[in-house]
Structure 1
Amino acid sequence: MIDLYTWATPNGWKVSATLEELELPYSVKPIDISTGIQKESEYVAINPNGRIPAIVDHDANGLTIFESGAIMLYLAEKTGKLIPDNAKDRYNVIQWLMFQMGGVGPMQGQANVFTRFFPEKIPAAIERYQNETRRLYGVLDAQLSEHEFLAGNYSIADIANWSWVRIHNFAGVNLDEFEGLKRWHEQLEARPALARGAAIPHETNFNKPERGNIAIEKGFVA
């Protein structure tokens, strides 16, 4: 059994959606990041960075892993699914996973903060991070205009990027100009396993044009 320590954020969804796609048994341990519980010693012993998500795999002698991308790689390798065996295709998946980790997540996360949560509106910061998010979306769009999925077959790379793209509205970015990305986004939104993963540990409406549950505040980008 795997314990999943998580909350309703894109990085959290990356892992819960992967677990759902792989049909692995897991137990949800909600970490309400609006309370600061993720900084307490009991959780920091699991994730030294004091963020979500993290897992403990009791079927692997209590192996503990933090960082969403590392967890996704571990789960894919554990099952032999959602990542290819051969080096060329494997690293094609990994590079698109790292594209999300190093680009889409950080830049869109800042767009979220400056658009929604920062105590004062700073137009230059909002414009910077929304524009960089659009640029990164353009890279995804170019790939998805020529391929059904990001790296050949459906993989953890798709799950990782989808988890952020699905809340494009929250960052103030529209998908209408990205035909390939929009097609892919709608295709993945229709996957039952991803829908289940995005409801862990609770449902949100962050991906809707109009939404009201803004109570998570700055911790949302964790």
Structure 2
Amino acid sequence: MAQANNPPENVSYSQAPSEKLPFASGEVDLLTAMTAAHWFDREKFLVEADRVLRPGGCLALLSYTMDMELEYEDKSEALNSICKEFYAALLPFRDPYLGPSSRKIYMDMFESCSYPDKEWIESFHLKKPLPLDSYIGMVQTFSSYQKLLKKDPAAAKRLSDDIRNKLLSAMTVSSPETEVTVVVKYFYWLACKP
């Protein structure tokens, strides 16, 4: 899909495992992954990252917590109570490897990185105005929702519809295109190869 959008000449795309990247040794200035590193083989990935990064190259791994919040007029508290219902309903479908949060996996990877110049950022909140339906769509991308969808598509649809309807009711609006502010809580770590 990316290649079909006529990328600039200096942009190319490839697909490869994180533990076997298609780059020469010392060729990469910045190696980053967003909400993916928790699935990597930590030891193999760190060796591979070290191989492809040039001296002075940076590694940036980030993710977000599952507990996004919503802001809307004076109704944020009620909305976030409903959001918590959504997340709680999905928790039984979360991969046991991840536990209740993938934060520990990222912290373990951070601690395993041998670079002396590194930094852990515990919490960075990003606020983004989105239609309510886009928030629902974001949660539907969670692996726990996808697991529920695969197991029982009707139950997944009922859950999404129920949460959407509760949120609309709490907002006292009828359109799922009504804009809310989604607060995403990121955590990340950065490291610079000596």
Above 0.5 in TM-score?
no
- Structure with higher helix content: 1
Rg bigger for which structure? 2
- TM-score, length basis structure 1: 0.27
- Structure with higher strand content: 2
